[in-house]
Structure 1
C-alpha cells in the first residue's frame, strides 16, 4: 500500500512537472511571437490536461494577439470549466469586454478572477494589468494601478516589472518605463524582451542610431529571438524617413530585418498579415499587392486581406475594386473597425463621384449617391480616429478650386470634426469661402440663410484665432452683407472696419496691394453710416476717394451725402 502511494505521488509530481514545462514552452513561444507553435503546444496541453484552465487562458490570449476574438472567447469559456486555474479565463473575457468598451462588464470579470486570491498571489493582477494595456481601448493608468498591487507584494517579480514597463510606455512615461524594463532584466536576465524594450524606447524617442546599437546588441546575444529583428526593421524604417541621404539604404535594411523576423517566427496567415501591415507602412505597394493576390487565391480569405487589398487598389487607382473590397471588409461581422478603411472607402467613392462635363469649362457632373456615401464614410472614420481627417483639407481645397462649392463645403465640415487639426484655420477658411461663393451671385430668395450663417461662423473662427488675417474680416463682412437682419448689417460694418485697420497697420505697400478691397470696405461703411452719422460716412468716402479718385460708387456716395 505504501509503495502504491509512493508511485502515485511520484507520477503526480512527474505529470505536474511536465505540465509546467509545456506551459513554459508555450509562454516562450508566445514571447518569441511564434504564435502557431504556441497554439499547437497549448492545444496539446488542453487535450491531455483538460482539468487545468491555464492553457485555455493562454490560448485565448494568443487568439487575441491575432485579432481572432471569437476563437479567443471560445477558449476562455471552455477554460472556465476547468477545476484548476479556470478563474484566469475571467481575465480574458474581461479583456474582450474592454475591447468592446464595456468597462463595467470587464470589472465584473476581473472581480471574479481575483475573488479567491491569497495575500501572496500576484499572477491575476499581472494578467489584469496586461489586459488593460493590450486592449483595443487601452487604459494605461488603470493597468499601472493594478500592476502596482502586484509590485507591492513582490517588488522583484520580473513579469510584473516588464508589464509595468509596457503600461508606462503606453502612458508615455519613458523614464518609469525604462526603469521597469531594466529592473525586469535584472530580476531575470533570460527575459530578452525586457532588454529589447530598452532599445524600443530609444526608437520611440527617435534616437535611431542609439536604438539600432541597443537592438543589435540584443540580436547578437540572442540571434534566434525574432521580435528584435522586427524592432530593428521599424527602427531602420523610422530612420529612413528622417535621414533622406541614407533613406534607400535604411529602407532596404528595414525590409531585410523584417524578413529575418518572419523566418524566425512563422509564415502563418497571422504573421503574413503582420508583414502586410509593415509593407503598407513602408509603401511597398507592389509586394503588398502580390501578397494580397496570393492570399485571395487561397480561398480562406481573412477579412484583413480584403482590407489591404482595398488599400492597395486605391493606391493603384483601381477605385471600383477598392470600394468592393472595403465594403466587404466593413460589412464583415466582428471585423475590427479601422478609420483608414472608411477613409479609403470614402476617397475611392469621391474619385468615382465626378464625371467630366462635355464642355471643359463646365463643372464636373456629380453622382450624388456616391458623393453622399463618401461623406458618410468620412464621418465614420472620424468616429474612430479624427486624426485621419487631415487628408480632407487638400480635398476640400481642390473641390473649391473647381468651383464645386457645395461639395467643398461638405468635405470641409467633416474635416473640422477634428478640433485639434493643425489645418483647422485652413479648413474654416475654405468652408467659409465655399458657402459664400455658393450664395453671393444668387437672387435673395434663393440664398441659403443657414449656409451664410455657417460661413459667418467659419470666418469668425479664423478671425478670432488669427486677428491679423485680413481676408477673414473681409469675407465675414461680405457674408453679412448678404444677410438681411439688422445684426448682420452691424457685423458687416464691424468686419469691414476691422479689415481696414488690419490692412492699414501692415503699411502702405499692403494698402496699395489691396486698394480695390479697401475702397469696397470704405464705401460699404459709408453706406452703413449714411443714415445715422453723415460725418463719419463722409470720412469713409474721403478715404475711398484718396485711394481711387475715380471710383464711381464713392463719387455717388459723396454727392448723396452733401
Structure 2
C-alpha cells in the first residue's frame, strides 16, 4: 500500500476540542496531500502552543512520510515534553524503530502510548496499526490483529474501519477490505478517502471502467479532492498498458489527471518527485528531464533529483549528463542506490564508449559498464530483463563479443521472462564471434562451449526450436568435435523430417539439409568412405548440380 496514501488518512481523527480546529485543518491538508501547507499550519500551532503534543506527532509523521527522518525524530522527541497528547509521539518513535527492524523497541514504545487508555478509546490503536503498515517492511497482519481487537469495544469508529480496510488491502484480503471501506464511509460520509479506496480495489481487480465510475462519484461530492485525480491517472496508465492500440490517447488522459492532481496539492520538491515517479511509469523521459531540471532549480542539494535526471538523460541519449548525475546520486551519503541506478549507469558508460557509426566500442568503457551492470544484477537478478534489447542492438551491429557479454547475464537467469531469447542470442553471438576470426587466429573454445550449452538450454525450454540443433552442429564443427557435430546434424535432419513433406519442401530447409549431409560426409571422408559417399549422394538427391558433393565422390572413389 502506498505509504503516502496510508499515512495521509491516519491522522484524520475525530474532533478534539474547539481549540484543536487548526489541527483538524492540518489533517485535512494532509489527507489532500498538501504537505507543505500542513507543515506550515502545524508549525504555527506549535509556536502558539508548545504544549500541544498532537501537533508535534502530526508534524513528525509528515516528515516521516517524506523520508526526512532527522526532522521527524526531532519533533517526536520534543512532543514527549508536551503536556497534551505527548504519548502519541511514542508511536512515531516506535515506527522509526520498526524501520530499523527493532520490533522489541517499537512494541515497548507502543505500550507506553496505549497505557491508561479508556475502554472505548481507539485513536492510539489506529495510529499504532498505521505505524505497522507504514514501516519500511509493512506488517499488515499485526495491524489487522490490533484493529480487530479494538473493534470489539468500538466498531462504530470510522477511522478504525478505514484503517482496517487499508490493513486488509495491504494483506491482499480484498473482500474484507471492501466491507471495511464501505463501513467507514457509511459511518462518516465526509470520509472521501474511504469511498475512493473502493475504486482502488476495483482498479486492483482490473475493473478499470468501474474504478473510474467510483472515482467520478468522489469527484461529484468534492471536485477539489486531489488524491482521486492521482488514482484516475494511475488507472488510465494501467488501461494504456492493457490496450496498446489506444496507449497514446490513454497516456495523455493519465497525464492530464496527474497534472490536475498536482494543481490541487502543491508544487513542492516532494510533490514534484511524485510526479517524476509517474513520468518514469509513463516512460516520458523528455518530460522527466524537464521536471528534473526544474527540481534542481528548487533544491540544488537534494540528491534524489540526480536519479531522475540520470534516468532521463540516459533514455534521451545525453550520456555525459547521465553519468555525472547517476554517479552523484550513488556516491551521495545516505542514498540507497537500487539496481536500476547501477544498470543505467553501466549502460550509459557503454553507450558513451560506442563509436558514432556504432561499429565499435572502447574496451575500457565496455568493461567499466559491465562492472556496474553486474552490481545491478547482484542486487536484483531480474534486472536482466532490461538488457535484452541492448544485447539485440549490439548483435545487429555485429558487435558479437559485446553482445554475448550482455546476454550472458540473462542466459543464466532462469526466472527471467527473456530467458529463452537470451540463450538463443547468447549462443548465436558466441558462434558468430568465432566464425569471423581472421585467418590464423584460433577460435575461442570456451566461448563456443558456452554457445553449445546455451543451445542445450534452448532445447530444454523449447524442444521445437530445431535451429538449435543446427547451430550446435556448426558450433561443434568449429570446435573440431566431429562426432558431436554429426549427432547434432542427424538430430536436426530426423526431427525436421518428422514435420512432414510440407516442411521439407521449403527451400531454406533444403539448403540446411544439404549443409548437414555435406558436413557429415566430410567428417567420414578419412574414416568411412562408404558412409561419406552415402551422405554426398543424399546431397545430390536434393541438388544434382552440387559441385562439392560431385567432386568429393570422385575423389573418394
**TM-score higher than 0.5 here?**
yes
Aligned equivalents of 1:300, 1:199: Cα separation in 2: 38
Question: Are the equivalent residues in 2 in contact too, given 1:19–1:45 (CA < 8 A)?
Answer: no
Q: Assess, with a 3 A threshold, how the Cα gap between structure 1 residues 427 and 550 changes in structure 2: closer, same or farther.
A: same
Whole-angstrom distance in 2 between the partners of 1:132 and 1:473: 55
Equivalent residue number for residue 433 of structure 2 = 438
| Maintained 8 Å contact 1:113/1:124 | no
Find the aligned partners of 1:303 and 1:21 in 2 and give their Cα distance.
Answer: 37
TM-aligned CA deviation for residue 144 of structure 1: 2.8
Cα distance in 2 for partners of 1:375, 1:73 equals 40
Pairing 1:42-191 to 2, within 5 Å after superposition? 42-46=42-46, 54-76=54-76, 84-97=87-100, 105-116=101-112, 117=114, 126-127=126-127, 129-136=129-136, 138-139=137-138, 142-154=139-151, 156=155, 157-191=157-191
Equivalent runs, 1:26-425 vs 2, <5 Å: 26-46=26-46, 54-76=54-76, 84-97=87-100, 105-116=101-112, 117=114, 126-127=126-127, 129-136=129-136, 138-139=137-138, 142-154=139-151, 156=155, 157-240=157-240, 250-282=250-282, 287-298=287-298, 300-356=300-356, 364-416=359-411, 419-425=414-420
Counterpart residue number, 2:463: 467
Contact 1:233 1:257 in 2 (8 A): yes
Higher relative contact order (CA 8 A, sep 6+): 2
Cα shift at 1:17: 3.9
| Structure 1 residue aligned with 2:9 | none
Q: Which residue of 2 aligns with 1:499?
A: 492
Deviations 1:334-375 (A, max 9, x none): 234344443433333232211147xxxxx7332223222332
Q: CA deviation at 1:265?
A: 1.8
Per the alignment, in what secondary structure is the counterpart of residue 434 of structure 2?
coil
Counterpart in 2 of 1:7? none
- Verify the 8 A CA contact 2:276 2:288 in the aligned structure 1: yes
Give how far 1:462 is off: 0.8
Find the aligned partners of 1:125 and 1:494 in 2 and give their Cα distance: 71
Contact 1:310 1:325 in 2 (8 A): yes
Offset at residue 319 of structure 1 (A): 2.0
- Paired residues, what number? 530
Measured in 2, the distance between the counterparts of 1:132 and 1:370 equals: 45
Q: Secondary structure at the match of 2:102?
A: helix
Residue 459 of structure 2 is aligned to residue 458 of structure 1: no
Structure 1 residue 71 displacement after superposition: 3.3
Aligned partners of 1:56 and 1:76 also within 8 Å: yes
Structure 2's unaligned 5+ residue stretches are 1-15
- Residue 53 of structure 1 contacts residue 89 of structure 1 at CA under 8 Å; is this kept in 2? no
Q: Which runs of 5+ in 1 are unaligned?
A: 1-15, 98-104, 358-362
> TM-score, with normalisation over the residues of structure 2?
0.81
Is the contact between residue 57 and residue 89 of structure 1 (CA under 8 Å) also seen in structure 2? yes
Contact 2:133 2:143 in 1 (8 A): no
Question: Is residue 91–residue 127 contact of structure 1 (8 Å, CA) maintained in 2?
Answer: no
| Cα distance, 1:65–1:430 mapped onto 2, change above 3 Å | same
Q: CA deviation at 1:171?
A: 4.8
In the superposition, the TM-score normalised over structure 1's length comes to 0.80
> Of residues 501, 507, 524 in structure 2, which corresponds to 1:508?
501
